[in-house]
Amino acid sequence: MLKGVPIWFRNAFFVEIELNMEDAIVRKEKKSFDFIDSIRGLAMFGIVFEHTSAFWLIKYTEQSDRYIQAGYMQLAKFVTIIFFLISGFLINYKFTEYTPLQYLKNRFKNTIWPWLFWIAIFILLNNAQKIFLYLRFDRSDALPSSLYEATLGQFFSLVFYSNYWFILNFLICIAILLIFKRYLYKIGFGIILGLISLTYSVNLYSGWFPAEHTTALFGFVVYLWLGVYFNRYYDKVSAFLNKVPMLVLVVAAVVFFFLSTFETVNLMERGVADPYNTLRVTNIIYSLIFFGILLKMGPMKSVQKILQPRKTTYGIYLIHAIIIERVLAEIVRPFNISLANMSPAEAIVYSIVRFVIVYGIVVLITKLILKTKFKWSIGAKD
């Protein structure tokens, strides 16, 4: 067919065909990972479920009450690790398609700007409430003690001790993987990251440093790495999961659900500041098993259709904390609900009501924003 054509042209011709074929394969592989959207939607559902729980604000002394409390909190405790896993799963191609600077530039536009925007909105609303309390009820004690407290003080508090920590942590994890990109698919590198994560697990009992999972900036790198690794070797991972009966995974998840619940109660009795810490060993295993279950389930069309995770997930993440703190608090205020005397059963009902209200409002707001020019504020592309 190419007889008589110079060899350099023929080589270029075949190289071009090979590259086009590789691009086609990559596009095909990307399409096959749409099921990750289903997991993303369910994970964000779980995040709001966890954050709206009334149990965060209750301390029981009876051990039976603590088990109910810990069990309820454990239900969706797999979501944080799963978010790192699916994030790594999705960015694997990005690491190969873009240079580090190109990747970070795109990430800044679609992730950092929206993140900073909603943190600023949160701070403005907090200060507006303080000013209202001062003007309406002469509450001079409600005013910030300094300009720093009204601005940077709140910013650092939100970044390190609220759900907004995830983005900072996520960026640190990405930066570490980019720095050690040449070792990205090395098992040894993953083992080192895993040992770092386990250090935080041991720290829950040793108390070497603050135990809150929101300050564990290096404890989650391994799960982002695992996501990248699972993507690279997805065929092998999928083949392994196909050999494992779903019943085995479900039973394993139930076993580690109870073990995680027991560990939480044990940490409560030890007086640990964050007994629900994500990096408990039992919860790590629970989360990985749950991820395997979700991978094995494959695409969930109904979840993608109803939740629209690709469009709404980031918006729900950015806005739900504001709705909990500034809107939900005002909705329940007239009812004078006392958490001190609330039984575990009542707390469960109250938590579910809080979840329904917050999730409903946040999804509505997110979908309304998607119809405006401000959709950039929730990471949506034009």
The tens digit of pLDDT for each residue in 27-83 reads: 444 445 677 888 988 899 999 999 999 999 899 999 999 999 999 999 999 999 999
Q: Would the pLDDT of 15 be above 60?
A: no
Alpha carbon distance 51, 74 (integer Å): 12
Average the pLDDT over 213-232 and give the result.
Answer: 87
pLDDT tens digits, 125-135: 999 998 988 88
pLDDT: is 316 or 380 the higher one? 316
SS3 311: helix
Q: Residue 98: which pLDDT band, with cuts at 50, 70 and 90?
A: low
* DSSP state letters, 64-126: HHHHHHHHHHHTTTTHHHHHHHHHHHHHHHHHHHS-HHHHHHHHIIIIIHHHHHHHHHHHHHH
pTM: 0.85
Residue 248: the pLDDT is 96
Q: Would the pLDDT of 211 be above 70?
A: no
Residue 96: the pLDDT is 66
Residue 80: Cβ within 10 Å count: 24
pLDDT tens digits, 156-182: 999 888 889 988 888 889 889 988 888
Alpha carbon distance 125, 131 (integer Å): 10
Residue 214: the pLDDT is 63
